[in-house]
Amino acid sequence: MALLKDDRLFPVDPGTRGIARALYDSIRDLPILSPHGHTDPRWFAEDQPFPDPAQLFVTPDHYVFRMLCSQGVALTDLGVPRADGGPTETDGRKIWRLFAAHYHLFLGTPCQLWLDHSFQHVFGIDRRLNAETADWYYDHIADCLSRPEFRPRALFKRFNIEAIATTEAATDDLRWHRMIRDSGWDGRVITAYRPDAVIDPDMPGLAQNVELLGQQTGFDTLTWAGYLDAHRARRAYFKEFGATSSDHGHPSARTEDMAQADAAALFQKALRGACTPDEADAFRGQMLTEMARMSLEDGLVLQIHPGAARNHSAQVLAQFGRDKGFDIPRRTDYVTALRPLLNAVGMRADLTVILFTLDETSYSRELAPLAGVWPCLRLGPPWWFHDSPEGMRRFREMATETAGFYNTVGFNDDTRAFCSIPARHDVARRVDCAFLADLVATGRLAEDEAAGLAHDLTYGLAKKAYRL
């Protein structure tokens, strides 16, 4: 018995399902473009075996451990490392058994789709995961991981990845990307410029990070002009390692276009750690506009990922650090927030700004109307909590009628869970084909138009928007 049904995620009406299946068959084997994500470049640099099954599927994946946490499982019992280096579970098999015993929590979630897809397609498993099969699973996966065909580069090829972008901090030395390049391996692993830690006054260590940026670039980053030049230099360095985009994860989508003297003064305040919360938000907003101006110079695509209330639990932040599943979306405005940046550079068709949201209400009210008129804007795919079959369907239903398909950019897997990449792209391809099939079946699209769109949504739009 297979874990996955062949026709999963297709419409239930037999006629419409047939249309969806035909569309899917025409694009299912296209290579994967992964222009935004969080895989570790070290994997591809060193090509070492992945450690045990728990380290592959449970311990590093906040999608997984947050669900177990919600039902009272302690993060230390799942091996999540403690900030103080204190004891946490290290026995992979014990972690795996705990995971398996709670696997029913994932019924009806995209996590189960991704995990079952990985189990079936990567590891050839045909039985369900539960308390009874936990040990068998653990042994089977551990055995696979010890074999050469399960090493990162082999999986990269098997996954049919044409290009994948990782995300590095502005001050990262990109050593793993250099190692990949120097190795002569032909897998295309590129970086992306993520300067939050040298921009955000609310992140710890801003001044030190900016100082390091100065050392790396030779510019005097204690001055506003030198700071901007250092960004320019660093972006150029990232471009040497394939970067085609920058990425910005701010609490809000606020942008500013203040006078340069005012920006310079605010920068000094930020370096001194003296910004009010509003000033911090303004400075981040000013930097988005500066980044957009640099994009006009160097061609990097600008990605904005706003709207998460980070570290909702102070206790979890203190004990385990950031990115531990306690980031919660909140209401996000785009209309007022983006106006300064757009009025500065938004009519330039040679600029590409890709917008993401954690607030689905913005799709039809704000994002589609904005992307449906401003030349620089494109809509990123459903993000994070909304990267799911229902989330993808809502995105298409709410954005397409106003923005069309050609102001969107295809799919991002946005993941650090390597084995989930084919699964996530497969879900997106199926949901898109289901949506297109429904348009065909309801007379809103011809079959040949749908076929062309299926190709573009899977491959063409990502390639073009991200300049891959």
- φ/ψ of 143, rounded to 5, equals -65, -45
The answer to whether residue 303 forms part of the interface with a copy of itself (CB under 8 A) is no
Provide the 10 A C-beta neighbour count for residue 390. 12
| Identified binder of a copy of itself from the candidate list 34, 209, 388, 420, rule CB under 8 A | 388
The answer to whether residue 400 forms part of the interface with a copy of itself (CB under 8 A) is yes
The answer to whether residue 15 forms part of the interface with a copy of itself (CB under 8 A) is yes
| Identified binder of a copy of itself from the candidate list 83, 104, 135, 139, rule CB under 8 A | 104
The answer to whether residue 347 forms part of the interface with a copy of itself (CB under 8 A) is yes
Give the span between the Cα atoms of 15 and 29, in whole angstroms.
23
Give the span between the Cα atoms of 258 and 37, in whole angstroms.
32
The answer to whether residue 265 forms part of the interface with a copy of itself (CB under 8 A) is no
| Identified binder of a copy of itself from the candidate list 453, 461, 465, 468, rule CB under 8 A | 453
Structural contact between residues 33 and 78, judged by C-beta atoms closer than 8 angstroms: no
| Identified binder of a copy of itself from the candidate list 77, 269, 385, 460, rule CB under 8 A | 385
* H/E run at residue 216: helix 206-217
The answer to whether residue 110 forms part of the interface with a copy of itself (CB under 8 A) is yes
The answer to whether residue 336 forms part of the interface with a copy of itself (CB under 8 A) is yes
- Report, in Å, the least distance between residue 327 CB and a copy of itself: 8
- Report, in Å, the least distance between residue 61 CB and a copy of itself: 13
Q: Output 227 or 384, the one with its CB closest to a copy of itself.
A: 384
* Side-by-side strand order, sheet with 32-34: 32-34, 161-165, 189-190
Provide the 10 A C-beta neighbour count for residue 71. 8
Q: Output 398 or 468, the one with its CB closest to a copy of itself.
A: 398
Structural contact between residues 343 and 336, judged by C-beta atoms closer than 8 angstroms: no
Q: By rule CB under 8 A, what string of x and - marks binding of each residue 43-82 to a copy of itself?
A: -----------------------xx-xxxx----------
Q: Output 199 or 353, the one with its CB closest to a copy of itself.
A: 353
**Per CB under 8 A, which region of 6-14, 34-42, 224-232, 416-424 contacts a copy of itself?**
6-14
The answer to whether residue 449 forms part of the interface with a copy of itself (CB under 8 A) is yes
| Identified binder of a copy of itself from the candidate list 366, 413, 414, 426, rule CB under 8 A | 366
**Per CB under 8 A, which region of 30-38, 39-47, 341-349, 413-421 contacts a copy of itself?**
341-349
Q: Output 261 or 315, the one with its CB closest to a copy of itself.
A: 315
Give the span between the Cα atoms of 96 and 53, in whole angstroms.
7
The answer to whether residue 454 forms part of the interface with a copy of itself (CB under 8 A) is no
The answer to whether residue 131 forms part of the interface with a copy of itself (CB under 8 A) is no
The answer to whether residue 428 forms part of the interface with a copy of itself (CB under 8 A) is no
The answer to whether residue 365 forms part of the interface with a copy of itself (CB under 8 A) is yes
Angle at alpha carbon of residue 420, lines to 403 and 246, rounded to 5°: 50
| Identified binder of a copy of itself from the candidate list 82, 239, 293, 339, rule CB under 8 A | 339
Give the span between the Cα atoms of 189 and 384, in whole angstroms.
22
- Report, in Å, the least distance between residue 308 CB and a copy of itself: 9
| Sign, CA torsion 286/292/298/304 | positive
Question: Which residues, other chains included, contact 137 with Cβ-Cβ below 8 Å and sequence gap of 6+?
Answer: 53, 96, 100, 119, 125, 129
**Per CB under 8 A, which region of 154-162, 191-199, 292-300, 438-446 contacts a copy of itself?**
438-446
The answer to whether residue 381 forms part of the interface with a copy of itself (CB under 8 A) is no
Strand segments (E) across 325-369: 328-329, 353-355
Give the span between the Cα atoms of 40 and 416, in whole angstroms.
7
Structural contact between residues 76 and 82, judged by C-beta atoms closer than 8 angstroms: yes
The answer to whether residue 426 forms part of the interface with a copy of itself (CB under 8 A) is no
**Binding to a copy of itself in span 143-182, by CB under 8 A:** none
Q: Output 316 or 419, the one with its CB closest to a copy of itself.
A: 316
Give the span between the Cα atoms of 388 and 377, in whole angstroms.
23
The answer to whether residue 312 forms part of the interface with a copy of itself (CB under 8 A) is yes
Q: H/E/C letters for each residue in 428-467?
A: HHHHHHHHHHHHHHCCCCCHHHHHHHHHHHHHHHHHHHCC
The answer to whether residue 86 forms part of the interface with a copy of itself (CB under 8 A) is no
Question: Which residues, other chains included, contact 224 with Cβ-Cβ below 8 Å and sequence gap of 6+?
Answer: 260, 263, 264, 267, 268
The answer to whether residue 333 forms part of the interface with a copy of itself (CB under 8 A) is yes
* DSSP character at residue 324: S
Q: Output 266 or 316, the one with its CB closest to a copy of itself.
A: 316
Q: Token pair for residue 318?
A: 């203190």
| Identified binder of a copy of itself from the candidate list 106, 176, 241, 383, rule CB under 8 A | 106
Strand partners, 246: 193, 302
